[in-house]
Amino acid sequence: MRKLGITARILSLLAACGIGFAAQAQSLPVSVDVSGNVASIRIGSGEHSVADVTLTFDEARGLSAGSLGVSASLVDVNDALLLARLPAGVAVPSAFPLLITIQPPALGGLNFDRTVGVEVHTHALPYTAGSRLRLFKAPLDGDFRDITRSIAPGSVRATGTTGGFSQFLVLADTRGTAAVIADKFVRLRAVADLLPAAQQAPVDDYIDTSEDALAAGDHAGAVAALELLRAHVAQQAGTTISETWLASGGSSNIAGGLLAGASSLQYSIGYQRDFGN
């Protein structure tokens, strides 16, 4: 079936939610349920949903529907301002032009340690092995970056890990995987540079080991080195490495940034191993 901006699947879901084509730029209905460290978000209304989003916190405090600040809207896939926020070679799929914003209010009381797992589940996109769909995240009005941890069937479940918020898109990424990996190494090193010198050295050693293994074609070794990095950071989080994100600001969640960055890098290395560049 030929796609015309928004696919028939999205149109039917929107119609079921009482939203017409002319409302493309308007917000979509959002409901939030919280249980322990998990927030379940339904985008849509009634029995029909455009997407379901699950946030799984390592350790949250003050987590509630109100403290999350969730909203969702459809975007114009040709919007120049939005496209300027995407890397070259990355596009918004016309079948799923959904922007999810999670911007906890400063006085809402939410804070968490380390990371949040993000899963976006939609039936609007078909799953294929080796899919180039990816989960991207950006600060408000900032540049989007790949945070993917997995792309799984059902129809599509895009997951990622983050040490903070605020905007998410499922995007089609046609960039070469080697370039994606190189960019993720650069970003991981940038987070490591925020560490005190005593902690930066061992983290840099793990990153060096991973890069060297990858250069030698040893994908398993590259992934294993990043797993050692993650174990080291998890052990030091809250003591020598800061680990807390605060909605009120002024916090430094370096542990979350390192854990999330290493996780997404592991995914890309595994993808290159399985599907090439």
Sign of CA dihedral 36, 38, 44, 46: negative
pLDDT band at 12 (very low <50, low <70, confident <90, very high): low
How many Cβ atoms are within 10 Å of 142's Cβ, its own excluded? 11
Q: What single-letter amino acid sits at 143?
A: D
How far is residue 118's CA from residue 49's CA, in Å, rounded to a whole number? 17
C-beta separation of 245 from 156 below 8 A:
no
What's the whole-number mean pLDDT along residues 87-112? 97
Residue 13 is predicted with a pLDDT of: 54
pLDDT band at 250 (very low <50, low <70, confident <90, very high): confident
pLDDT digits (tens, 9 = 90+) for 36-82: 999 999 999 867 789 999 999 999 999 999 999 999 999 999 999 99
Which residues in the chain are classed under CATH 2.60.220? Answer: 8-173
pLDDT digits (tens, 9 = 90+) for 141-154: 999 999 999 999 99
What's the whole-number mean pLDDT along residues 246-268? 96
Give the CA distances from residue 12 to residues 19, 27, 124, 183, 197, in Å, rounded to whole numbers and listed in that order. Answer: 9, 17, 10, 38, 55
What's the whole-number mean pLDDT along residues 18-31? 63
pLDDT digits (tens, 9 = 90+) for 168-187: 999 999 999 999 999 999 99
How far is residue 115's CA from residue 163's CA, in Å, rounded to a whole number? 5
Whether this prediction's pTM lies above 0.75 is answered by: yes
Domain 8-173 has CATH 2.60.220: yes
